Amino acid sequence: MSVVGVLALQGDVHEHLVALAEADVLARPIRRPEELAEVDGVVLPGGESTAISRLLATFDLLEPLRARIKEGMPAYGSCAGMILLADEVLDGRADQHQLGGLDIVVRRNAFGRQVDSFEADVDLTGVGEVHAVFIRAPWVEKAGDGVEVLARVPDSAEAGDAAGRIVAVRQGHVLATSFHPELTGDGRVHRLFVDMVRAAG
């Protein structure tokens, strides 16, 4: 059975562990490099990306995790996790570390200027309609050529932006959503990721 780790330094770790267990994998928290070495894929939870990035350095996980993702280990980031996976962050803190792996530019707390938290039904490619919960969420401001855009939400504050803001992307073995499927009891996004892990193994 595939083993999927959840980075367990800060954030909604438990919710991801439950969602993964329901998707029929062995789900384990990761706090140490030895634990990272044993997993086939990793989930980066929602939380506070600046705190998680600092803790990644403190726990000696920053370089090993960067290396595994670069080598092709599947990774899924929700919200703060999406920020950590982005190659570039706007409105980040100067001392924020990036894991990288996704050729995207994200804007932190992007929707926060209009509304801190909201829910919306989004059409997620490969999954269908998903009820998405956004909590001080980032959006993807720019996606590189190799990045598949999986979902957008209308940005009501900018009437000209009819297509909406990008809130879910995939680039090969790396998946990211601005929203939190782990909070809604809808296991389809985690199952999509588990399929990616199985395909890589």
Residue 135, marked binder: yes
Residue 116 makes CB contacts below 8 A (sequence gap 6+) with: 135, 136
| The one among 48, 87, 88, 103 contacting ligand GLN by CB under 6 A | 48
Amino acid at the residue 44: L
How far apart are CB 107 and ligand GLN at their closest, in Å? 10
How far apart are CB 11 and ligand GLN at their closest, in Å? 7
Q: Is 108 in the site for ligand GLN (CB under 6 A)?
A: yes
Short-list 119, 138, 139, CA closest to 184: 119
Report the run of H or E that residue 148 belongs to, with start and end: strand 148-153
Residue 93, marked binder: no
Label residue 90 left, alpha or beta by phi (over 0 means left) and psi (-120 to 50 means alpha): beta
Whole-number Cα distances in Å, 58 to 18, 33, 52, 63, 139: 26, 12, 10, 11, 27
| The one among 27, 80, 147, 151 contacting ligand GLN by CB under 6 A | 80
| The one among 18, 28, 100, 109 contacting ligand GLN by CB under 6 A | 109
Between 108 and 170, name the residue whose CB sits nearer to ligand GLN.
108
Pick out residues in 131-170 that bind ligand GLN (CB under 6 A): 135-136
Enumerate binding residues for ligand GLN (CB under 6 A): 46-49, 79-80, 83, 108-109, 135-136
